[in-house]
Homo-oligomer: A and B are copies of this chain.
């Protein structure tokens, strides 16, 4: 029997990020300046973002970006992450499908977010900045950025969606342990926060709203820039390390997935996971089915429109062409704080619009049922966010079982 956990060696950690845009014939639409409705220039973006990150954001052509040595060194403290064969889940479901999952939870942030946090903190440090500001929903991104900031000696200000701030006091404590400051959003510490609080005094907040506050906090303070944990091209670029490792691990065991499933809020996890596989599909080298799993309470792909919208609630950010529920959308408080963004990565939006990927929305109760089944079989207690993908994977695995095609070799990432 093949191993449960497939690990690459430290030497096999990818040396370059893969930029999916380079292989897209129709590129994702550019960010627009909300005042002029012209594409945002590098000069305009540099007031908000770190310089090298702006370059990555705007580059639709360079296929590979070298991962800086310092970032690769840090990766070695928690990467490569394992690709795990879910033998016990398969047995419990009685399915002929082969189920694999790439487990990114083995670091203190509890998620894949650290992959981009450490890269972004590195570029901020390199630019000689004092600190960075950001927002966080479920708290994983904020935790990851706190860890990365502590490592590089940067100040870190986190605006945490109020609903999550109240649901997860321990998450907040972890961030402050790493030296970050954490403010529940909307707050009275920013102009945009005060404006939103006046209009919606009882709101539990949203990512879009926390983004507005974090951007304001960055641009109104010398030596600070804003960083974002999802949605942006640069983030998907960094997260390609997930897919690159998974691809290499599959090659190592002579396997190849038929269906690749990821949960999606802003798209960082899904975009990173599928990148090299989607690249093969775009280049016509190989075909895969891709499934985006999102919450029914915030269904950007399945019920949103593909059009230009603000990335934030306070209308201070650029416009992005994306599947969106409208930047005023306030999702009901649920337990998947990381999947509550009103829009979707422009890369994934374009991919989805071209019909290269499917999307499905799931109700929370069905998602939690899947999570409990997975937890009891596999040991690992999955995050509510990841459990959306688990729901989709279990459904697909049960289809394999029902079809009776014993030999169907479905593999689900």
Query: Footprint of B on A, CB under 8 Å?
Result: 3-5, 7, 9-10, 74, 76-78, 84, 88, 106-108, 114, 147, 150-151, 170, 174, 177-179, 372, 375-381
Contacts and interface: CB of A to CB of B under 8 A. Distances in A.
B381 A108 contact: yes
Q: Which 5 A-B pairs have the closest CB atoms?
A: A150-B376, A4-B76, A108-B381, A3-B10, A77-B379
25 contacts: A3-B9, A3-B10, A3-B76, A4-B76, A5-B10, A5-B76, A5-B77, A7-B7, A74-B379, A88-B151, A106-B106, A107-B379, A107-B380, A108-B380, A108-B381, A147-B376, A147-B379, A150-B376, A151-B376, A170-B170, A174-B381, A177-B375, A177-B381, A178-B376, A179-B376
A177 B378 CA distance: 13
A379 B177 contact: no
A372 B10 contact: no
Contacts of A76: 3-5
Nearest to A173: B381
Contacts of A378: 77
A379 B108 contact: yes
A3 B78 CA distance: 12
A108 B10 contact: no
B379 A78 contact: yes
Nearest to A179: B376
A5 B9 CA distance: 9
Contacts of A77: 4-5, 84, 88, 378-379
A306 B55 CA distance: 67
A106 B74 CA distance: 18
* Central interface residue in A5, A7, A375, A379, by most chain B CB within 10 Å: A379
A117 to B, nearest CB: 11
A78 B5 CA distance: 8
A106 B379 CA distance: 11
Contacts of A174: 381
Nearest to A4: B76
Contacts of A3: 9-10, 76
A170 B10 CA distance: 34
A78 B10 CA distance: 19
Nearest to A372: B177
Contacts of A150: 375-376
A178 B381 CA distance: 9
A310 B77 CA distance: 44
Given A5-B77, A108-B381, 13 more contacts: A3-B10, A4-B77, A7-B7, A77-B378, A78-B379, A106-B106, A114-B379, A147-B376, A147-B379, A150-B375, A151-B377, A177-B381, A178-B375
A138 to B, nearest CB: 14
A144 to B, nearest CB: 10
A177 B368 CA distance: 10
Contacts of A107: 379-380
Contact of A151 (B151, B177, B379, B380): B379
A178 to B, nearest CB: 6
A4 B10 CA distance: 8
A15 to B, nearest CB: 16
